[in-house]
Structure 1
Amino acid sequence: MKTQKNGERHEPLTLPIVPTMDVVVFPRMIIPLLVVDEHIIDGIQRALEEKPPREVLLVASKKSFPPNEEQTIGTDDLYTVGTIATVMRVIQIPNNGIKILVNGVSRARVLNITTERNVLEATVEKIPFEMQPNSVRIDRMINDLRESASRLIEQGGSIGPDFNAILSKMTDPEKIADFILSHITLSVERAQELLEEKSFEIFFEKLHAFFLEEIEHAKSDESIKQNARESMNRSQKEYFLREQLKAIKKELGEDDESDITELWTKSESIKLSSEARKEFEKSLQRLEKMSSDSMEASVLRTYIDWLLALPWGIETEDNLDLAHAQEVLDQDHYGLKEIKDRILDFISVKKLNTDGFAPILCFVGPPGTGKTSLGKSIARCLDRSYFRMALGGVKDESEIRGHRRTYVGAMPGRLIQGMRKAASTNPVIIIDEIDKIGADFKGDPSAALLEVLDPNQNNGFYDNYLGVPFDLSKVLFIATANSLDGICEPLRDRMEIIQLSGYTDEEKCEIAKRHLIKKALFDSGLDGEAIAFKDETLMDIIHNYTREAGVRELERLIRKLGSKAARLMVEKGEHLCCNRDVLENFLGPRRFIDEGCDHKNQIGIANGLAWTMYGGEIIQIEAVTMSGEGRLIITGHLGDVMKESIQAALSYVRAHADEFKIDPLLFTKHDIHVHVPAGAVPKDGPSAGITMLSAILSAYTKRPINGEYAMTGEINLT
Structure 2
Amino acid sequence: MADTKKEPFEDSAPKLLPVVPTIDVVVFPQMVVPLLVLDEKIINGIGRALEGDKRILLLAASGDMGGSHGPIGTEDLAKVGTIGKVMRAMSLPDGGQKVLVQGLLRCNVDEVTSEEDMLKGTISYLAFDRNENNDSVDNAIRGIISTIENTHGSSGLFGPDFHAILSQINDPERVVDFLLSHLSLDTAQAQKLLEKESLLELIAGIRESIEYELETSKVRESIRTNARDAINRSQREYYLREQLRAIQKELGEEAEDDLSAIKMKIEDGTMPEEAVKEARRQFSRLEKTSPDSLESAVIRNHLDWLTTLPWGVFTEDDLDLKHGKGILDEDHYGLNVIKERILDYLSVRALKNTCDVPILCFAGPPGVGKTSLGRSIARCLGRKFFRISLGGMHDESEIRGHRRTYVGALPGRIIQAIVKAGSSNPVLMIDEIDKVGNSGKGDPSSALLEVLDPEQNLAFYDNYLGVHFDLSKVMFITTANDLDQIPEPLRDRMEVIQLPGYLAEEKVEIAGQHLVPKAIESSGLAGKGVEFHPELIHAIVTRYTRESGVRELDRFIKKLCSKFARKFVEEKEKIQFKRENLIDFLGPSKVLFDKKLKNHKIGVTNGLAWTPYGGEVLQVEAVLMPGKGKLTLTGQLGEVMRESAQAAVSYIRSHAGGFGLDKSIFTDYDLHIHLPAGAVPKDGPSAGITLLSSILSVLTGREIDGNFAMTGELDLQGGVLPIGGLKEKILAAKQYGLENVIVPKDNERDLHGIDEMILKGIRLHFVDKVEEVIERVLLPKS
Give the TM bin, normalised by the shorter chain. 0.5 to 0.7
1:4-23 equivalence runs, <5 A = none
Aligned residue pair count = 485
1:421 equivalent in alignment to 2:420 = yes
SS at match of 1:441: coil
Cα distance in structure 1, aligned partners of 2:417 and 2:329: 27
1:146-225 equivalence runs, <5 A = none
1:41-440 equivalence runs, <5 A = 234-235=240-241, 238-243=244-249, 247-248=252-253, 255-256=256-257, 259-440=258-439
Alignment check: 8 A CA contact 1:547 1:614 kept: no
Structure 1 residues 463 and 635: alpha-carbon distance in aligned structure 2, compared to 1, 3 A threshold: closer
Cα distance in structure 1, aligned partners of 2:344 and 2:496: 15
What is the CA distance between 1:579 and its match in structure 2? Answer: 3.2
- 1:588 counterpart residue number: 587
Alignment check: 8 A CA contact 2:362 2:497 kept: yes
Cα distance in structure 2, aligned partners of 1:519 and 1:310: 36
What is the CA distance between 1:520 and its match in structure 2? Answer: 0.9
- 1:82 counterpart residue number: none
Aligned AA (2:453)? D
1:392-541 equivalence runs, <5 A = 392-527=391-526, 530-541=529-540
Cα distance in structure 2, aligned partners of 1:447 and 1:680: 34
Structure 1 residues 348 and 663: alpha-carbon distance in aligned structure 2, compared to 1, 3 A threshold: same
- 1:87 counterpart residue number: none
| Between 306-315 and 525-534, the greater mean CA deviation after superposition | 525-534
What is the CA distance between 1:665 and its match in structure 2? Answer: 4.8
1:26-66 CA distances to partner (integer Å, 9 max, x unpaired)? xxxxxxxxxxxxxxxxxxxxxxxxxxxxxxxxxxxxxxxxx
The two structures have a TM-score, normalised by structure 2, of 0.57
Alignment check: 8 A CA contact 2:481 2:612 kept: no
What is the CA distance between 1:268 and its match in structure 2? Answer: 4.2
Structure 1 residues 704 and 319: alpha-carbon distance in aligned structure 2, compared to 1, 3 A threshold: same
Alignment check: 8 A CA contact 2:364 2:613 kept: no
What is the CA distance between 1:498 and its match in structure 2? Answer: 1.4
Structure 1 residues 628 and 285: alpha-carbon distance in aligned structure 2, compared to 1, 3 A threshold: closer
Cα distance in structure 1, aligned partners of 2:440 and 2:665: 61
SS at match of 1:497: strand
Aligned AA (1:243)? K
Aligned residues with identical type, % of pairs:
57
- 2:117 counterpart residue number: none
Cα distance in structure 2, aligned partners of 1:661 and 1:229: 97
SS at match of 2:319: coil
What is the CA distance between 1:283 and its match in structure 2? Answer: 2.8
Alignment check: 8 A CA contact 1:365 1:502 kept: yes
Cα distance in structure 2, aligned partners of 1:296 and 1:674: 68
Unpaired runs of 5+ residues, structure 1, are: 1-226
1:293-352 CA distances to partner (integer Å, 9 max, x unpaired)? 333333322222222211111111110111111111111111111111111111111122
Cα distance in structure 2, aligned partners of 1:464 and 1:614: 37
- 1:657 counterpart residue number: 656
1:23-42 equivalence runs, <5 A = none
What is the CA distance between 1:674 and its match in structure 2? Answer: 4.5
Structure 1 residues 292 and 322: alpha-carbon distance in aligned structure 2, compared to 1, 3 A threshold: same
Alignment check: 8 A CA contact 1:533 1:577 kept: no
Aligned AA (2:546)? R
Cα distance in structure 2, aligned partners of 1:604 and 1:335: 40
What is the CA distance between 1:427 and its match in structure 2? Answer: 0.7
Structure 1 residues 712 and 234: alpha-carbon distance in aligned structure 2, compared to 1, 3 A threshold: same
Cα distance in structure 1, aligned partners of 2:713 and 2:418: 50
Structure 1 residues 315 and 233: alpha-carbon distance in aligned structure 2, compared to 1, 3 A threshold: closer
Alignment check: 8 A CA contact 1:597 1:607 kept: no
What is the CA distance between 1:417 and its match in structure 2? Answer: 1.5
What is the CA distance between 1:398 and its match in structure 2? Answer: 1.8
Structure 1 residues 328 and 233: alpha-carbon distance in aligned structure 2, compared to 1, 3 A threshold: closer
Cα distance in structure 2, aligned partners of 1:336 and 1:232: 64
Cα distance in structure 2, aligned partners of 1:562 and 1:617: 30
Cα distance in structure 2, aligned partners of 1:574 and 1:705: 55
Alignment check: 8 A CA contact 2:366 2:613 kept: no
Structure 1 residues 584 and 242: alpha-carbon distance in aligned structure 2, compared to 1, 3 A threshold: farther
1:89-140 CA distances to partner (integer Å, 9 max, x unpaired)? xxxxxxxxxxxxxxxxxxxxxxxxxxxxxxxxxxxxxxxxxxxxxxxxxxxx
Alignment check: 8 A CA contact 1:601 1:707 kept: yes
What is the CA distance between 1:277 and its match in structure 2? Answer: 1.8
Structure 1 residues 325 and 667: alpha-carbon distance in aligned structure 2, compared to 1, 3 A threshold: same
What is the CA distance between 1:269 and its match in structure 2? Answer: 3.5
1:609 equivalent in alignment to 2:614 = no
- 1:570 counterpart residue number: 569
Structure 1 residues 614 and 578: alpha-carbon distance in aligned structure 2, compared to 1, 3 A threshold: farther
SS at match of 1:431: strand
Structure 1 residues 278 and 542: alpha-carbon distance in aligned structure 2, compared to 1, 3 A threshold: same
Alignment check: 8 A CA contact 1:518 1:528 kept: no
Alignment check: 8 A CA contact 2:602 2:701 kept: yes
What is the CA distance between 1:397 and its match in structure 2? Answer: 1.9
Cα distance in structure 2, aligned partners of 1:592 and 1:493: 39
What is the CA distance between 1:241 and its match in structure 2? Answer: 4.1
Structure 1 residues 237 and 554: alpha-carbon distance in aligned structure 2, compared to 1, 3 A threshold: same
Cα distance in structure 1, aligned partners of 2:673 and 2:552: 36
What is the CA distance between 1:235 and its match in structure 2? Answer: 4.5
1:55-93 CA distances to partner (integer Å, 9 max, x unpaired)? xxxxxxxxxxxxxxxxxxxxxxxxxxxxxxxxxxxxxxx
Cα distance in structure 2, aligned partners of 1:711 and 1:240: 85
Aligned AA (1:248)? E
- 1:59 counterpart residue number: none
What is the CA distance between 1:468 and its match in structure 2? Answer: 1.7
Alignment check: 8 A CA contact 2:364 2:612 kept: no
Aligned AA (1:460)? A
Structure 1 residues 425 and 662: alpha-carbon distance in aligned structure 2, compared to 1, 3 A threshold: same
What is the CA distance between 1:611 and its match in structure 2? Answer: 3.8
Structure 1 residues 640 and 530: alpha-carbon distance in aligned structure 2, compared to 1, 3 A threshold: farther
Cα distance in structure 2, aligned partners of 1:468 and 1:485: 34
Cα distance in structure 2, aligned partners of 1:709 and 1:395: 44
Alignment check: 8 A CA contact 2:544 2:589 kept: yes
Cα distance in structure 2, aligned partners of 1:542 and 1:618: 18
SS at match of 1:485: helix
SS at match of 1:248: coil
Alignment check: 8 A CA contact 1:530 1:565 kept: no
